[in-house]
Amino acid sequence: MNTSKTDISSTPATQYAGPWRTAWRDVRRNKVAVGSLVVLFIIIAACLAAPWYADHVMHLDAFSSNINGTYLVNGVPKPVLETSTSGLGLGVNPIGPTWDPANFFLGADNQGRDVMSRLLYGGRNSLMIGFVSAVICCVLAGLVGVVAGYFGGGLDAVLSRGLDVLWAFPVYLLAICLSVVLINATLDIGPITLTSGSIILPILIIGVIYVPYVARPIRGQTMSLREREFVQASVGAGATDARLLRREILPNVLPTLIVFLPLMTAINMLTESALSFLSIGVQPPDASWGTVINDGVGLLYTRPMVAIAPGVMLAITAVALNLFGDGIRDALDPKARLRGAV
Amino acid sequence: MWRFAGRRALAAVLVLFAISVMVFLIFFATPGADPAARIAGRNASQETLAQVRASFGFDKPMYMQYGLMMRHLFIDRDLTSFVNRGSQVIPQITQAIPVTLSLVIGAAVIWMVLGIIMGVAATAGRGTAVDPIIMVFGVIGVSLPVYWLGEVVNLITQSRLHDSWFAWVPPLGYAPLSDGVGTWALHLVLPWMTLAVLYAGIYARVLRSEMVGAMNEDYVRMARAKGIGEGRVLIRHALRTSLIVIVSLFGLDFGALIGGAALLTEVVFGLQGVGKLTYDSLQNFDLPVILGCVLYAAFFVVVANFIVDLAYAWLDPRVRHV
Amino acid sequence: MSEPLLEVRNLRVSFRTRTGTVTAVDGISFTVDPGEVVGLVGESGSGKSVSMLTVLRLIDNPNCVIEGEVLFKGNDLLTMSDADLRSIRGREIAMIFQDPMTALTPVYTAGWHISEQIRAHEKVSKKAANDRAIQLLTSVGIPNAESRVNSYPHEFSGGMRQRVVIAMALSCNPSLLIADEPTTALDVTIQAQILELLRDLQSEFGASIVLITHDMGVVSQMANRVMVMYGGRLVEAGSRLDVMREPAHPYTWGLMGSIPPTDGTRAVRLAAIPGAPISPSDSDRDRCLFAPRCTFATDSCRPQPGLIEHRPGHSDACIIPFSERAQRRTEALAPMRART
């Protein structure tokens, strides 16, 4: 080559920090993404504090029924379930919000339980189910997508048709089918036994049903990566499949999967809540935002706060996850085409 | 084009077959439950059980069972519910179809119009406050749980403000078109808007990202260099190429909704559509109805997929010869 | 001399970025006369494309700052209203872009593209516009124009697609055609055909052409006049013969050295200009920007010498006395060649 040593450094080369650190710096510069992250942290911290709140602020167990419970009004105990004043005056209504953190802040549900405590406990489950099922979904989809896209041929045909079939189901219906059949059964999968009503079940179901949404773009990306020059160069240098997958394909697919993670978490939380709302997700006495909304539907016109509060929490969390996800996408993978931008 | 359509049709039939097998396996081959007991309902007598076993052939090998099931469903069309003895599955589904169609078509019109307006306006308003404001609305639409939104709408229109602003809102439920278009629409307008919120959000977001991508393409710069007005560049060039993605998305979502994905909206607003039918049969554990509904749903999704493929070829000349 | 068709005065284009201002075009001035072909030469990032995009205000980056004047037939394009500008775009000034693969909207036929442009400027029926599209496609050498007018962009080969783009550009008889690297994305044999087509059309239609390229070979085939850009500034301008025979600026020497000689011995390797091109984000602009790569750079290369006309119609921006140039050039090229 003819390029001499004369002074290429006349323009000081800017230090390149590597793709991950650059992306993280971009996320940190993005005010919306940072704000969303802060909101998420606050919600997560509050939900993690659920047992502390129930034991030390509310002094009431959030899961056992409290029909004969009382609360204090100006030092005088009053029943949590007050006699209904409407209609025939026969039924009972739980009390509404007192806006006193130690005293049924958001009121009680129809079993006299504290709604605020159940909201926080429910958040733990909703967040956990949403996140874990999103991880499961992304890992499975990454596996299926990369294998199908990389090896191609018959393996790809089988996997892709499988994805097509799964894709052809409206996701809610698929989740419902699986839930209906499985939710009351006791399953033995090798060493693990899932008892009926286990919380693992909705996690697995939700994790699986969204696999095609993520796997399809990953497969496409892997296929086009395989044709790219730098991968072909590695092939030419005699790299093994294992090395190619680990060194060339995976590092390039990973950002897409990470972009999907917060978005899938949001979708999965909404799906979980819908299933719980239909009583085929999280089973009582466990709580999730969906089950609390379901509890609240019966009280909708008398004590709307029971249903409104968890819905608002769900919406705020989903908005924060979506905005954070957008921030990550912009930073990591500006060209990502996400199906449905969901 | 015809060969393309033929190949796609064949693939659609194969997928349908695979789905029917999968649904069958989910319900009849999962461990831990006797399918006969499921079909017969919870407290069936031994005689009923034996009768069911014989009529569905649960003593026969699996593929025979599958064949019998499909025969009851498609050829004899006499698969009966075991919860409401004697009531057949197929008529129940055909009764529910107009309700679901009314709900989904109305919502689809609203969300397509809204989504496209929002997407185009956000793209046109890049660099101003218009874009982020519209997009925040989009994100909120995507993030609201549909059933919860429906309940809140009910709370406001049926209870809290029913005596003032929303006195015109009829009680929950469906009014057939034969009652007059006005009555029909009045019963459906709130469900339409509730269902449309989510999809308008999704479509606005997708359309904006597609259009912003298109606006950076060479062909848009070329179109500007030709002396075409910015509005025409936006609509005829950027929107037109971005529509390819939107239309394929629409086909899939529309098919899924017709197929029962509108379930939550139907449940919340008391509409006896296919989704509600599935939900009710689910509550009663009425397996024959669930099976029928799910297969019906899958059929619509697959048909929608097929139509999407054709629309794709029509909208995008590049794929016609694939 | 008649009034110039296009006159660019002290044009400056910069972009605000996170890390500071980036200057893409740094105060250039030039004119284009009616009917002439001007070659604008420079390597990637020298600002040649940006400056011509600015002429039609085609940069829609909100962080772009444009200063100066661009007078077309006496009117300033930079301050003109959008509606007035639109009536000039496509009708008076047409553009051809580098990559014909992406310059046409993929969902419309060739005829649709051409008709759209005609109908944007003239009130004619669809039928008449389509007929003109067929004529134009024939005149740019597309066989079977009657049927090809209904073909989609992806159904044309690269060279044919560039012909479609050229037909579109010529559809309203523009008085100025800006061709931004029109042959770079094409095969060598196709390049020659397209250049020949442009030359024929230029003599037929009589439009002025600004030909943006990094290829001195293309310029030598096409241009009446040559302008050389480096780092957003003009470093040399003159008639083709002057610049090709007696390039004045050391940077142009380097450019010329990178054309394979067609005569004499072929024993030597092609010369390359040492160092990397100046980055547009370089903040030290108060000097000759080529100095870091120039064998003859001295302290007096600061501040940047302006364009000096050392003989009629041939000017350059270098402090070396003109009389010494020929000798310096031999000195400069000798070690470059020897090194290989």
B13-69 confidence digits (pLDDT tens) = 888 888 888 877 877 766 555 667 666 656 667 777 777 777 666 777 778 778 877
So what's the pLDDT on residue C281? 66
Residue C120 touches chain B, beta carbons under 8 Å: yes
Residue C337 touches chain A, beta carbons under 8 Å: no
Which of B226, B228, B240 to probe the C interface (max C CBs under 10 A)? B226
Tokens 């000034």 — which residue? C93
- Residue in C with minimal Cα distance to B229: C86
Compute chain A's Rg from CA coordinates: 25
Give the ipTM of the model, two decimals please.
Answer: 0.84
Contact A4 C274 (CB under 8 A): yes
Contact C152 B318 (CB under 8 A): yes
Contact C95 B227 (CB under 8 A): no
Residue C22's H or E segment, with its range, is strand C20-32
Confidence category of residue A178, pLDDT binned at 50, 70, 90: confident
So what's the pLDDT on residue A132? 95
Edge-to-edge strand ranges of the sheet holding C6-17: C20-32, C6-17, C64-72, C75-76
Which position has the higher pLDDT, C172 or B295?
Answer: C172
Residue A74 touches chain C, beta carbons under 8 Å: no
Confidence category of residue A4, pLDDT binned at 50, 70, 90: very low
Measured CA to CA, the distance from residue C327 to residue A59 in angstroms comes to 97
So what's the pLDDT on residue C334? 65
Mean pLDDT for the stretch of residues A91-111: 74
So what's the pLDDT on residue A192? 62
So what's the pLDDT on residue A341? 32
Give the distance from residue A310's alpha carbon to the nearest chain B alpha carbon, in angstroms: 9
Residue A168 has its nearest CB partner, among B143, B202, B301, at B301
Residue C64 pLDDT > 60, yes or no? yes
Confidence category of residue C182, pLDDT binned at 50, 70, 90: confident
**Signed CA dihedral, A101, A104, A107, A109: sign only:** positive
- Residue in B with minimal Cα distance to A341: B206
| DSSP count for chain A of H helices, then E strands | 13, 6
Cβ-based contacts under 8 A for chains B and C: 73
Residue A5 pLDDT > 50, yes or no? no
Contact A270 B145 (CB under 8 A): yes
Tokens 């809102």 — which residue? B169
So what's the pLDDT on residue A6? 39
Chain C residues whose beta carbon lies within 8 Å of the beta carbon of residue B227: 86-91, 117, 120-121
So what's the pLDDT on residue B31? 59
Give the distance from residue A22's alpha carbon to the nearest chain C alpha carbon, in angstroms: 14
Chain B residues whose beta carbon lies within 8 Å of the beta carbon of residue A311: 144-145, 148-149, 151-152
Residue C134 pLDDT > 90, yes or no? yes
- Residue in C with minimal Cα distance to A12: C282
Contact A11 C339 (CB under 8 A): no
Burial tier of B163 (Cβ tally within 10 Å: 0-12, 13-18, 19+): exposed
Confidence category of residue A248, pLDDT binned at 50, 70, 90: confident
Burial tier of B68 (Cβ tally within 10 Å: 0-12, 13-18, 19+): middle
Chain C residues whose beta carbon lies within 8 Å of the beta carbon of residue B216: none
pLDDT one-digit tens code per residue, A216-231: 889 888 888 888 888 8
Measured CA to CA, the distance from residue A156 to residue A31 in angstroms comes to 41
pLDDT one-digit tens code per residue, C316-340: 888 888 778 778 877 776 655 554 4
- Residue in A with minimal Cα distance to B145: A270
Q: Domain limits of chain B?
A: 96-285
Q: Domain limits of chain A?
A: 43-51+114-341
Which of A1, A3, A4, A22 to probe the C interface (max C CBs under 10 A)? A4
Give the distance from residue A71's alpha carbon to the nearest chain B alpha carbon, in angstroms: 27
Are B274 and B96 in contact, with CB atoms under 8 Å apart? yes
Identity of the amino acid at C120 = A
pLDDT one-digit tens code per residue, C49-63: 888 899 888 887 778
So what's the pLDDT on residue C333? 67
Residue A68 touches chain C, beta carbons under 8 Å: no
Residue C209 pLDDT > 80, yes or no? yes
pLDDT one-digit tens code per residue, C236-246: 899 988 888 88
Residue C74 pLDDT > 60, yes or no? yes
Residue B322 touches chain C, beta carbons under 8 Å: no
Through-space distance between the first and last CA atoms of chain C, rounded to whole angstroms? 48
Enumerate neighbours of B (3 or more CB pairs within 8 A).
A, C
Chain A residues whose beta carbon lies within 8 Å of the beta carbon of residue B264: 172, 274, 277-278
Confidence category of residue A89, pLDDT binned at 50, 70, 90: low
Residue B209 touches chain A, beta carbons under 8 Å: yes
Contact B219 C105 (CB under 8 A): yes
Top CATH class, A43-51+114-341: mainly alpha
Chain C residues whose beta carbon lies within 8 Å of the beta carbon of residue A8: 275-276
What does the mean pLDDT of chain A come to? 79
Mean pLDDT for the stretch of residues A143-165: 86
Residue B259 touches chain A, beta carbons under 8 Å: yes
Confidence category of residue A3, pLDDT binned at 50, 70, 90: very low
* SS3 assignment, position B80: strand
Contact B241 C86 (CB under 8 A): no
Contact C292 A7 (CB under 8 A): yes
So what's the pLDDT on residue A338? 37
- Residue in B with minimal Cα distance to A182: B30
Chain B residues whose beta carbon lies within 8 Å of the beta carbon of residue C105: 219, 223, 237, 240-241
Chain B residues whose beta carbon lies within 8 Å of the beta carbon of residue C168: 226
So what's the pLDDT on residue C340? 45
Residue C292 has its nearest CB partner, among A3, A10, A14, at A10
Residue C61 touches chain B, beta carbons under 8 Å: no
Most confident of A124-128, A299-303, C40-44, C189-193: A124-128
The count of other CB atoms within 10 Å of the CB of residue A56 is 10
So what's the pLDDT on residue B113? 95
Half-sphere CA count of A196, side-chain side, radius 13 A:
8
Residue of A272, A293, A265, A138 lying closest to A203 (CA atoms): A272
So what's the pLDDT on residue B279? 80
Enumerate neighbours of A (3 or more CB pairs within 8 A).
B, C
- In this prediction the pTM is 0.83
Residue C274 touches chain A, beta carbons under 8 Å: yes
So what's the pLDDT on residue A136? 94
pLDDT one-digit tens code per residue, A286-308: 888 988 888 888 777 778 888 88
Most confident of A239-243, A338-342, B4-8, B49-53: A239-243
Give the distance from residue A291's alpha carbon to the nearest chain B alpha carbon, in angstroms: 12
Q: Tell me the CATH architecture of domain B96-285.
A: Orthogonal Bundle (1.10)
Residue segments in chain B with a per-residue pLDDT below the cut of 50: 322
Residue C94 touches chain B, beta carbons under 8 Å: yes
So what's the pLDDT on residue A307? 84
Contact C117 B230 (CB under 8 A): no
- Residue in C with minimal Cα distance to A1: C340
So what's the pLDDT on residue B252? 79
Contact B151 A311 (CB under 8 A): yes
Give the distance from residue C140's alpha carbon to the nearest chain A alpha carbon, in angstroms: 36
- Residue in A with minimal Cα distance to B284: A180
Enumerate neighbours of C (3 or more CB pairs within 8 A).
A, B
Residue of B247, B263, B249 lying closest to B296 (CA atoms): B263
Pairing of strands A81-83, A92-94: antiparallel
Measured CA to CA, the distance from residue C178 to residue C181 in angstroms comes to 9
Comparing A56-65, A134-143, A238-247, A327-336, the range with the smallest average pLDDT is A327-336
Contact B298 A169 (CB under 8 A): yes
So what's the pLDDT on residue A9? 40
What does the mean pLDDT of chain C come to? 84
Residues 160-179 of A with CB under 8 A from B: 161, 164-165, 168-173, 176-178
So what's the pLDDT on residue A339? 32
Which position has the higher pLDDT, C166 or B66?
Answer: C166
